[in-house]
Amino acid sequence: MADLATFLSVVGFLLPFGGALFILSPAPYAVLASRHRAKTVWIAALLATILVFFFTGPMNALSQFVLASIGYPIGTGFRQQRHPRVILAMAFFAGWASSLFLTLSTLFFLKDLRMLIQEEIEALGRTIVTIGRNVDGITPFGWQPGAVPQQMGHTSYESATQDMTGWFSDYWIVLLPVGLAFFFLPTVWAANIFITPALQRIRDSFLPSIGSLLSEAQEKPTAQPNENRGECDKENKLANPLPLVLEKASLHYPAINGFPRAGIRQADINLETGLFVGITGLNGGGKTSLIRLLAGHPPTEGIVSRPGPVGMGELGGTALIAQRPETQVLGARIKDDLCWGLPPAEVRILDIPHLLELVGLDKEEDQETAGLSGGELQRLAVASALAHRPRLLLSDESTSMLDPIGRQKAARLLASLPRKLGITVVHVTHILWEIEKADLVIAVENGRIRWSGPPDLVLPYLRPMTKKTEKKGKEET
């Protein structure tokens, strides 16, 4: 979308009447706002600003933030089904305010630009004087030389123009916002007219569609759910990551400047269904490399065997939850994120309230994800992963970026999933109390599995090594 915004801006700058494309330029940002959170829109605006700067210079580049300010209210208003007048008012005020702020900031910091504008106004005055003299001398109009400025209360065109330019110089702080208001009102109105049909077509073709499928599911709650589930399972029957066996499996990385990069060496693991497995160790010990092998990365040495493909992100396959929850949430609303990537038949039978209750997320499915806390976003990420009914759920330090309360809730949720759903959960963490209830604890050190076994046998060896981390984690909770 940043590329499309850049294209519209550059073409509008180069073509003689390309300024008309300003009406369509907010469209890419409106599309993003209708499907994603605000952060995505502003990142796209920043990228477009950088690209446009190289093509057309700073002034046109800064306009990208004005276009994003117009497109964001149009997109969010469309998603929230607001009244068109409300959308128009929001977009108008956002575009007008952002443009006024950028203009005033530019004039304040760039003295040479202020002088250049002053010279342009004076040049415009001289042009008016020249045109006025020519018009004043045309006899068919019945004017005598000097009649026009006299009617304006001046003795000459020079004095009239001087007063006019002086008036502009004295009252520009009032004329600027008024002029921008007259510009943005018709511009935003036309942009909303052109962009809204495009948003409707995108909404109708994106998922046929989340809203319509959910409505259909509510109207027909028993409309062949078993048949639909059977079709989905049949299509994804090859995704079968468990049981998973690693035999002397190693993952090496290419050396950089002659220095070897740590990986995992000679790993032996046997994962069955319904286990809660904890992986721990110090930074650089090989935890992430081990997770990569479990997630399907081919080993450089050894054997990794499983009954079928990993099926990353597929129904009945493998799901991965990472550290930063905000990077994993894709939908603008909770139900959008839960349905993301699911086939239409699966969306029809998806029990969203049950998923939210399962992960302890007490929110409405229509609530926007932008208002969720870090812990709530992480629980939503878990729910979105469970919507694909994975057999293997990998958690790569998914609790590390959460506050103490959120970490405690997320850790308990992960530990409860094998018992509730019969899936296997592999959780990587530095905090040992998070894996005290694990069926299997794996401790890695210097690229090798040093200990592997039940927590009551392995954790006593680990506590002296991670005493500071353990103490800090318990104090926080």
Helix (H) or strand (E) holding 93: helix 84-109
| Signed CA dihedral, 23, 25, 30, 31: sign only | positive
Burial class (CB in 10 A: 0-12, 13-18, 19+), 179: exposed
Residues of the chain with pLDDT below 70 are 1-3, 5-7, 9-10, 12-14, 16-19, 113-114, 118, 121-122, 124-126, 128-167, 169, 203-237, 256-262, 464-477
Cα atoms in the 13 Å half-sphere on the side-chain side of 285: 19
CA–CA gap between residue 405 and residue 375 (Å, rounded): 8
Our measurement of the distance from residue 151's CA atom to the centroid of its chain's CA atoms, rounded to an integer in Å, reads 61
Bond preceding residue 209 cis, omega within 30 of 0: yes
CATH number of 244-329+372-476: 3.40.50.300
Structural element, H or E, at residue 327: none
> Rounded to an integer, what distance in angstroms lies between the CA atom of residue 7 and that of residue 27?
12
Cα separation of the two ends of the chain: 43
pLDDT at position 53 is: 82
Alpha helices in 350-436, H assignment, sequence order: 352-358, 374-386, 404-421
Q: Which of 51, 93, 43, 100 is nearest to 69 (CA)?
A: 93
Q: Give the E-state strand segments of 45-134 in sequence order.
A: none
0.75 surpassed by pTM:
no
- C-alpha span between 374 and 71 (Å, rounded): 27
* pLDDT for the residue numbered 244: 94
Q: Which among 283, 240, 288 has a CA at the least distance from the CA of 267?
A: 288
Rg of the chain in Å (alpha carbons): 32
Q: For residue 157, give the nearest of 127, 112, 197, 196 by alpha carbon.
A: 127
Q: Are 273 and 243 in contact (CB under 8 A)?
A: yes
The tokens for 207 are 């998922």
Phi/psi of residue 158, each to 5°? -60, -45
Query: How is 132-154 classified by DSSP, letter by letter?
Result: HHHHHT-GGGTPPTTHHHHHTT-
- Which residues are paired to 279 by β-bridges? 428, 442
Domains of the chain: which residue ranges? Answer: 2-109+175-206, 112-170, 244-329+372-476
Q: Which of 258, 219, 235, 281 is nearest to 389 (CA)?
A: 235
Write down the pLDDT at residue 264: 92
Quote the CA–CA distance of 363 and 123 in Å, as a whole number: 62
Q: How far apart are CA 169 and CA 124, in angstroms?
A: 13
Instruction: Please name the residues in contact with 15: beta carbons below 8 A apart, sequence gap of 6 or more.
Output: 21
Q: What's the rounded Cα separation, in Å, for the pair 85 and 196? A: 13
Query: Which of the 8 DSSP states describes residue 368?
Result: B
DSSP 290-306: HHHHHTTPPPSEEEEE-
Phi/psi zone of residue 308: left (φ > 0), alpha (ψ -120 to 50 degrees), beta? Answer: beta
Which residue, 74, 97, 104, is CA-closest to 87? 74
Asked whether 278 and 427 are in contact (CB, 8 A), the reply is yes
> Which tokens sit at 311?
């099926």
Residue type at 60? N
